[in-house]
């Protein structure tokens, strides 16, 4: 009986492995710009013919400032448009949320380098006639926000806002905060992990507790899941995994803007608080704000913590 079960299990694993190999060899689906427009987004066609998706929201005419922002891993600019629109309108802020290549309907760029991110972003800034702006990133988006602040400096970036930030890979190694489970060297393993994670619909314990304690945030689950599956493509997941785990190509200690606000949680189990503390100590004009809400990486979804961030955008 045990042998029969083991045989069936081995066969199922073999079939699954073949499926993963097959999927990894398929071309990424072509992007239809109409899908972006249907979701209320906009796009630019870059010099290499890639499509870059973005969303403009909040106060789009009589605004007092523009915030360019980048979302967490697997999500797109659409999530900011949905979650922040009313708050930005109230504060007369124009938000421009850009979906990084490989997520949503932004074309994949193979072997993408974080240090070149501003080349893509600059095309959006030109189209939207953005001169001076603030830049904001959350989780995976924080390293993209730092690259923009590093490149443009205080001539164009007035304020940098980082929420649950990453630290550069070499620094994270020194701090002991590098999560090696997220950086398998094998492309095949990356495919296995991708499909496993998607099929299991992994939810972190801290997130479960958040929703249990704040049932009104259940809509965040729906919005996030809808956002993740927008043009879901494992190759985009792999490329962005590589971006997270590669050398950033610039020194964050050279960032020079008027003000840097760094929000982090004392119990963050995804981006360790030591990352934020190092950034606070090493980036000019940085101030830190630690949450003790008790929900780890998701602490800033708690209404009072969210309001604290919004109050600092005025």
Other C-beta atoms lying within 10 Å of the C-beta of residue 293: 19
Cα distance between residue 160 and residue 277, in whole Å: 16
Structural tokens at position 166: 């990453």
For the chain, the C-alpha Rg in angstroms (whole number) is 20
The DSSP symbol for 30 reads: P
Strands, sheet with 133-138, edge to edge from the N-terminal-most edge strand = 42-45, 51-58, 93-98, 65-70, 133-138, 157-163, 259-265, 286-291
Answer whether 195's CB lies under 8 Å from 274's CB. Answer: no
Q: What are phi and psi for residue 66, nearest 5 degrees?
A: -120, 130
Cα distance between residue 169 and residue 252, in whole Å: 11
E strand intervals along 11-50 = 42-45
Specify the pLDDT at position 200: 43
CA distance readout (Å), 250 to 24, 95, 196, 246? 31, 26, 33, 12
Print pLDDT tens along the chain (314 aa).
Answer: 676 776 766 666 656 556 655 655 556 678 899 999 999 999 999 999 999 999 999 999 999 999 999 999 888 999 999 999 999 999 999 999 999 999 999 999 988 999 999 999 999 999 999 999 999 999 999 999 999 999 999 999 999 999 999 999 889 889 988 764 444 445 555 555 554 444 444 456 788 889 899 998 888 888 888 887 787 676 787 788 888 778 999 999 999 999 999 999 999 988 899 999 999 999 999 999 999 999 999 999 999 999 999 999 98
Specify the pLDDT at position 27: 63
CA distance readout (Å), 308 to 30, 196, 290? 41, 36, 11
Query: How do 157-163 and 259-265 pair as beta strands?
Result: parallel
Structural tokens at position 241: 């995994």
Cα distance between residue 217 and residue 215, in whole Å: 5
Answer whether 87's CB lies under 8 Å from 80's CB. Answer: no
Cα distance between residue 8 and residue 211, in whole Å: 38
């Amino acid at each position: 009986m045990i042998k029969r079960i083991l045989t069936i299990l081995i066969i199922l694993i073999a079939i699954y492995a073949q499926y993963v190999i097959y999927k990894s060899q398929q071309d990424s689906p072509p992007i239809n710009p109409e899908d972006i427009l249907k979701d209320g987004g906009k796009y630019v066609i870059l010099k290499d013919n890639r499509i870059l998706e973005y969303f403009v929201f909040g106060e789009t005419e009589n605004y007092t400032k523009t915030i360019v922002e980048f979302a967490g891993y697997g999500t797109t600019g659409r999530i900011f448009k949905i979650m922040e629109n009313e708050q930005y309108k109230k504060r007369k802020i124009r938000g421009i949320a850009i979906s990084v290549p490989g997520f949503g309907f932004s074309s994949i760029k193979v072997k993408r380098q974080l240090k070149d991110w501003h080349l893509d972003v600059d095309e959006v800034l030109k189209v939207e006639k953005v001169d001076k702006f603030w830049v904001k990133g959350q989780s995976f988006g924080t390293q993209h926000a730092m690259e923009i602040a590093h490149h443009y400096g205080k001539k164009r970036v007035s304020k940098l806002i980082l929420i649950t930030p990453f630290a550069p890979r070499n620094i994270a190694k020194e701090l002991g905060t590098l999560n090696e489970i997220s950086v398998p060297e094998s492309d095949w393993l990356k495919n296995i992990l991708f499909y496993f994670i998607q099929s299991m619909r992994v939810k972190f314990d801290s997130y479960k507790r958040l929703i249990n304690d704040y049932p009104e945030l259940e809509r965040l689950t729906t919005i996030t899941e809808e956002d993740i599956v927008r043009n879901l493509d494992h190759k985009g997941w792999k490329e962005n995994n590589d971006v997270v785990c590669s050398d950033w190509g610039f020194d964050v200690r050279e960032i020079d803007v008027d003000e840097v606000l760094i929000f982090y949680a004392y119990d963050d189990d995804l981006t360790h608080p030591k990352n934020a503390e190092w950034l606070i100590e090493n980036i000019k004009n940085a101030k830190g704000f630690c949450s003790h809400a008790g929900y780890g990486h998701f602490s800033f979804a708690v209404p009072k913590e969210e309001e604290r961030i919004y109050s600092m955008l005025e």
